[in-house]
Structure 1
Amino acid sequence: MRVPENPARTVRATPVTTYNYVMSGLSVRSDVEMPSAILAEASGGGEPDVTITIGEVPAHLAAATRVGGDWEFAPGEFLLRLRDLMKVYVTGGSSILLEPAATCDPGDLTLYLLGTCFAILLQQRGRVVLHASAVAVGDRAMLFCGASGMGKSTMAAMLSERGYPLLNDDVCNLSPDADDRYSVYPDGRMLKLWSGSVDHLRWTATEDARIRHDAEKFYMAPASVDLKPRIVGGVYMLHAAEAGATATVEPLNAAESMSLLTVNAYRPALVKAMQMVPTYFAASAALQRHAGVFRLSRPMDFSRAAESLDVLEAHWAGIR
């Protein structure tokens, strides 16, 4: 099992090099090394889709139309102040400017950069961003949503062991086509797994792969990865089954689907702040109509994990 190479554990005020990645189908040139992302070839001299730089972030937006306690919004601009971590200025769906605090843990910098900050950028591009993991099943993407700790990343990791390539972990970027079918744009990033999941998979975690110095969570390379966009074939809401119950898959009706998909937006507060609630409602309706939204209830006991995977595979065989 591969593990990430030794990541840099310092944030340089003046970067000595840049890094190239593919994130959510976009080419990214970054001043910040991101150990959770898979390095890509440079864009051949052309301009990347996204640049991530370190510098001085403005104190306020001159044309802010909405202001919260730690953020300011204007069309095409978003300013975010993350307590003692950093200030972030995201513009035009193409640029992220970071000003890390002196006390910012590099692990936190990467987590917020690839999570909240990149979600803001994607939404500036009109994309829908779900708090979900995804794997490829043939020419379709199967998504797994659920509250933190419900096992989205672990489910994707176990399925990658069964030959279903990882598309996304934690953050899923969706965009519709002319027929209102939504596709997932892969991230090319490592899985983030708690030590219990790593042990169950019999993978090897090293200190260099630790996400934060004080957390038993690690960046782990999946068994297989695919960077080809795929149309969403199904969305599964992860649910803990009652004690002694078996794993089941059941379809959700339109009202349940819309409610749960909206709740599982990546940072619902951002969706409201950026006035994108109608976009997410439309996406929820389209996903329920074209792909289907299901509840996957399963035992949370690792010793019964294979049961859930068998039920999923049987379900996929029935909907192809």
Structure 2
Amino acid sequence: MTAALGAPAHRYYLFGLTIDSDIGLPELVQGDPDRKADVRVSKGPIDFGRDLEEGVHAVDDGMMLVVPDVARFFVSGGSTILVDAEAEVPAENVRVFLLGSAFGLLLHQRGILPLHANAVVIDGHAYVFMAESGGGKSTLAAWFQDQGYALLTDDVAAIGRNDAGNPVVFPGVMRLRLWRDALEASGRDTVDFRRSFKGETTYEKYDVPVSETAKADRAYALGGIYILNRGDSFRIQAIHGVDAVHALFEHSYRGGFVYDVGAEREHFSECVRIAKSIMIHEVFFTGRLEALADEALSVIGHLSDKDD
């Protein structure tokens, strides 16, 4: 299936896991050289399943993620990812899917709950902001970074447990993806940043590196979860019980993978545990970029209210 593995070229830390990788992943923080690796990322070729169509497929003892014209990713045992990239595909395009869907599949295999969310460290706790694609997660996270708050993760928030059994959020990918209008509204210039997907002229998202002072490099206790929505006026409201569990399930990153790996029961149980122990709120933003600062400050005021 694979060639013999030599010494890895890189050591990273991602989602609470130590990663040995043959592929450079500049979006990640460096890993501890003295720790045993949890995951190995290797380059192909993969000599089976070449007739598989786009999507995820159960193959042998793992799962094959097929991204046409980019790469195939074989994810096995929650511990290995083999990458077979198409010839001449830019490395950053391969990383889009490796650090996204492929690692999402691996997290589901390991039983770590990945949410489609950003997380920011505020007052020593991790606050998670969930939304659908284009829902403003990264725009809000960029505002937090510009105010001096540490970014814990972009796009995928991996929720695990500490030694006491309490939920924590692990550090994730250390970059933000902003649409052109949000990038420019933040005072940044598109000429200073590269497109998230090279060669795709209609996909006007740009990668914004996180400054060294704004990076969080350890897990933080989960302080609260906010679901970002659009509304005619700004407001925040709590959700409870079945609605809270449903929201977590619906905002699970690549939620369909839960069924692909057969982890429905464990995934649902973890969503219930979190909904019982952590306050979950819906936040209705107006979507007007000129109102973002005032609305974000209202969120900070809300999460800082210990009596809420």
When structure 1 is superposed on structure 2, of 118-127 and 289-298 the one drifting more is 118-127
The structural deviation recorded for 1:235 is 0.8
Percent of aligned pairs with the same amino acid: 23
The structural deviation recorded for 1:76 is 5.9
Could you say what the CA RMSD is over the residues aligned between the two structures, in angstroms?
2.7
Tell me whether 1:222 sits opposite 2:210 in the alignment. Answer: yes
Q: What amino acid maps onto 1:82 in structure 2?
A: V
1:55 is matched with: 44
The structural deviation recorded for 1:225 is 1.4
Q: Deviations over 1:102-145 (max 9, x none)?
A: 25343331111001101111222221111100001123110011
Tell me whether 1:21 sits opposite 2:8 in the alignment. Answer: no
Does the Cα contact within 8 Å between 1:85 and 1:101 map onto a contact in 2?
Answer: yes
Does the Cα contact within 8 Å between 1:55 and 1:99 map onto a contact in 2?
Answer: yes
Contiguous gaps of at least 5 residues in structure 2? 1-5
- Relative to structure 1, is the Cα distance of residues 70 and 210 closer, same or farther in structure 2, using a 3 angstrom cutoff? closer
Does the Cα contact within 8 Å between 1:249 and 1:311 map onto a contact in 2?
Answer: no
1:238 is matched with: 228
Please give the residue correspondences for 1:131-150 in structure 2 after superposition, counting only pairs within 5 Å: 131-150=116-135
Does the Cα contact within 8 Å between 1:27 and 1:43 map onto a contact in 2?
Answer: no
Partner SS state of residue 260, structure 1: helix
The structural deviation recorded for 1:207 is 5.9
In 2, Cα distance between the equivalents of 1:128 and 1:113? 18
Partner SS state of residue 43, structure 1: coil
The structural deviation recorded for 1:255 is 1.5
In 1, Cα distance between the equivalents of 2:196 and 2:54? 28
Select the residue among 112, 128, 149 that pairs with 2:113.
128
Partner SS state of residue 247, structure 2: helix
Does the Cα contact within 8 Å between 1:28 and 1:52 map onto a contact in 2?
Answer: yes
Partner SS state of residue 72, structure 1: strand
When structure 1 is superposed on structure 2, of 216-225 and 249-258 the one drifting more is 216-225
Q: Deviations over 1:20-43 (max 9, x none)?
A: 3221122222222234x1352661
Structure 1 segments, 4+ long, off by >6 Å, are: none
In 1, Cα distance between the equivalents of 2:270 and 2:166? 9
Q: What amino acid maps onto 1:20 in structure 2?
A: R
- Relative to structure 1, is the Cα distance of residues 292 and 208 closer, same or farther in structure 2, using a 3 angstrom cutoff? closer
1:155 is matched with: 140
Alignment TM-score, normalising by the size of structure 2: 0.87
Contiguous gaps of at least 5 residues in structure 1? 1-14, 62-66
1:262 is matched with: 249
1:306 is matched with: 293
Partner SS state of residue 102, structure 1: coil
- Relative to structure 1, is the Cα distance of residues 208 and 163 closer, same or farther in structure 2, using a 3 angstrom cutoff? closer
Please give the residue correspondences for 1:277-288 in structure 2 after superposition, counting only pairs within 5 Å: 277-288=264-275
